[in-house]
Amino acid sequence: MAAAVVVRRAAGLIPLLSSRFGARMPLHRALSQIPPPRFCRLLSQQTKPFSASASNGAATDRTRELRLYNTKSRKKEQFRPRIPGREVGMYVCGVTPYDDSHIGHARAYVAFDVLYRYLRYLDYEVRYVRNFTDIDDKILDNRCAYVVGGDVYFSVDNFPEYGELSGRKLDDNRAGERVAVDERKRNPADFALWKAAKDGEPWWDSPWGPGRPGWHIECSAMSAHYLGHSFDIHGGGEDLIFPHHENEIAQSRAACCDSTINYWIHNGFVNVNSQKMSKSLGNFVTIRKDCHFPQVIEMYHPLALRMFLLGTHYRSPINYTIEQLNVASDRLYYTYQTLRDCEEICQHQQSNTGNPLPANTLNYIQKLHDEFETSMSDDLHTSVALAAMSEPLKVMNDLLHTRKGKKQDKRLESLSALEEKIRVVLSVLGLLPSSYHEALQQLRDKALRRASITEELVVQKIEERTAARKAKQYEKSDEIRKELAAVGIALMDGPDGTTWRPSLPLPEEEAVLAKT
């Protein structure tokens, strides 16, 4: 059974500093199975079990060897579990909720959630540990630490391997680069293992007086407690490479010489309008509702945000723009609408599942399978995996809605098989909703909110346009269509009347013309 554990940092970290990690740290205040942050709950969807061996068209063995970029070696490496036949241990640094969670946090969550899902798809058992920090910010026995006024600092000069992960030398570390400047330090790069208590801060008793753990010690404690001193994968945002992960390696190795992590994986930054997102610039976009910063979930479906994030390779910087989020939302609607239509027609018409599929359908399924596994096994190229669904979705739409497609032999069997394979891909990417119908309605509701319009008003506009067309007032009819298109509402004329769906809003220049 795979396990996903979220833990909290707590007072049980104290034994870490005074022992040599010889025994399991008693994280007696740590809690397992804590609900993830709000955005994590929104972005995660319950999915059916999925694996390479269970998917239609896939071989029962691992047909693609997973290769991951290892920050420490600075190259892609073939993934091999530390202990073959045992579960994969994966630890990822979670959020420190000093403020509302933003899309940078969401990106890290989505990137490693997909890695977890793909490992499960490849039939690995995975124990996934992600911390949730609720306090801001035998090592002494090994002479790797020293005490100054109730604070305990790690001495980087006594750890020759310091800098291997980030590629930095001690001489390269300059004050101000997330390195706290303190004249009491022996080296400016020395970092706190334990901080003396200050007024208004939580504290616990320790051999060095009342205080609290330093920022870096939490991950060493929790990963060792849940995964052991050595495990397979450690992940986080690239801003954590230095000093956080560098410091984590140093203190873990000092406490336990055989502490080894095989793969260090880091996701890239999120930029807003081509600037790095940061609180200091006031340009970070939050996830949760009802906050004073601009937010995403208020206006977009959580899975549209996930689709947007997956559209860029996890190690590359991603530029957040409303335009790109609109594209992701539109793409998601098209996908779910196609699958919903397929689901409905297959439910209402009897198909003969015992008949062999047409050769072209089998080819589409095999091609999707191969492109999906090839892209995902090449360091999780999710954008290519998403693109691989385009052709099968078009084929499904042709079978559903074109005169030629409706006459195709074994049409229902082909639709059902294609939908099943796309469902597997969506499951691995975390994009499979519990109901296509409900997801489509939610996407429609978000589109109306973005357009600052109600569905009743859209229906009224449709009725006005229908009346104008009957009266042969085609100019007025076209004006109504353009007016709605300008705000992302597309009108669809059919034999049963006119309906609407969310669409990409017109570019600003065209929208202005539509209103004049």
The ranges assigned to domains in the chain are 1-55+78-298, 320-438, 452-515
Residue 47: pLDDT above 50?
no
Residue 190's pLDDT band (boundaries 50, 70, 90)?
confident
Cα angle for residues 91, 93, 94 (degrees, 5° grid): 120
Q: Can you name the CATH fold of 1-55+78-298?
A: Rossmann fold (3.40.50)
Residue 498's H or E segment, with its range, is strand 497-502
**Beta strand pairing status for 88-92 and 231-237?**
parallel
Mean pLDDT of 349-377: 90
Residue 292: pLDDT above 60?
no
Number of neighbouring beta carbons within 10 Å of residue 82: 16
Distance CA 137, CA 219 (A): 12
Distance CA 259, CA 253 (A): 5
- Give residue 196's pLDDT: 84
Q: Choose the weakest-confidence range: 219-233, 279-293, 377-391.
A: 279-293
Contact present, 285 and 277 (Cβ < 8 Å): yes
Of the candidates 436, 427, 447, 20, the one whose C-alpha atom is nearest the C-alpha of residue 253 is: 20
- Give residue 143's pLDDT: 64
Q: Choose the weakest-confidence range: 39-43, 151-155, 283-287, 329-333.
A: 39-43
Mean pLDDT of 498-514: 77
Determine phi and psi for 115, rounding to 5 degrees.
Answer: -60, -45
- Give residue 284's pLDDT: 66
Mean pLDDT of 449-478: 97
Give just the sign of the alpha carbon dihedral 71, 74, 77, 81.
negative
Residue 286: pLDDT above 50?
yes
Distance CA 99, CA 95 (A): 10
Mean pLDDT of 241-268: 89
Of the candidates 452, 444, 429, the one whose C-alpha atom is nearest the C-alpha of residue 118 is: 429
DSSP secondary structure string for all residues of 396-447: HHHHHHSHHHHTSTTHHHHHHHHHHHHHHHHHHHT---S-HHHHHHHHHHHH
The whole-chain average pLDDT of the chain stands at 81
Q: 12 vs 90, which has greater pLDDT?
A: 90
Residue 105: pLDDT above 90?
no
Mean pLDDT of 90-107: 81
Residue 21's pLDDT band (boundaries 50, 70, 90)?
very low
Mean pLDDT of 249-257: 83
Q: Choose the weakest-confidence range: 281-290, 393-402, 417-426, 462-471.
A: 281-290
Residue 9: pLDDT above 80?
no
- Give residue 147's pLDDT: 80
488: which residues sit within 8 A by CB, 6+ positions away?
326, 447, 450, 451, 502, 503, 504, 505
User: Hey, what are 181's tokens?
Assistant: 């400047």
Residue 98's pLDDT band (boundaries 50, 70, 90)?
low
Query: What is the share, in percent, of the chain residues with pLDDT greater than 70?
Result: 76
Residue 15: pLDDT above 90?
no
Q: 256 vs 421, which has greater pLDDT?
A: 421
Residue 12: pLDDT above 80?
no
- Give residue 515's pLDDT: 57
Strand order in the sheet with 270-272: 275-276, 270-272, 318-320
> Exposed e or buried b for every residue in 224-251, given b needs 16+ CB within 10 A?
bbbbebbbbbbbbbbbbbbbbbbbbbbb
Residue with tokens 């360091």: 379
Contact present, 140 and 19 (Cβ < 8 Å): no
Distances (CA, A) of 180 to 165, 397, 426: 20, 58, 44
Omega into 243 within 30° of 0, i.e. cis? yes
Number of neighbouring beta carbons within 10 Å of residue 507: 11
Distance CA 212, CA 29 (A): 14
Mean pLDDT of 303-322: 96
User: Hey, what are 315's tokens?
Assistant: 């190690």
Q: 161 vs 475, which has greater pLDDT?
A: 475
Residue 46: pLDDT above 60?
no
Residue 461: pLDDT above 60?
yes
- Give residue 225's pLDDT: 92
- Give residue 148's pLDDT: 83
pLDDT tens digits along 212-228:
887 788 889 899 999 99
Residue 191: pLDDT above 50?
yes
Q: 194 vs 365, which has greater pLDDT?
A: 365
Contact present, 487 and 452 (Cβ < 8 Å): yes
* Architecture label for domain 320-438: Up-down Bundle (1.20)
Q: 237 vs 42, which has greater pLDDT?
A: 237
Distances (CA, A) of 237 to 220, 347, 380: 17, 44, 16
- Give residue 313's pLDDT: 98
Residue with tokens 């006005």: 464
Residue 144's pLDDT band (boundaries 50, 70, 90)?
confident
Residue 355's pLDDT band (boundaries 50, 70, 90)?
confident
Residue 185: pLDDT above 60?
yes
- Give residue 290's pLDDT: 40
Residue with tokens 């084929």: 395
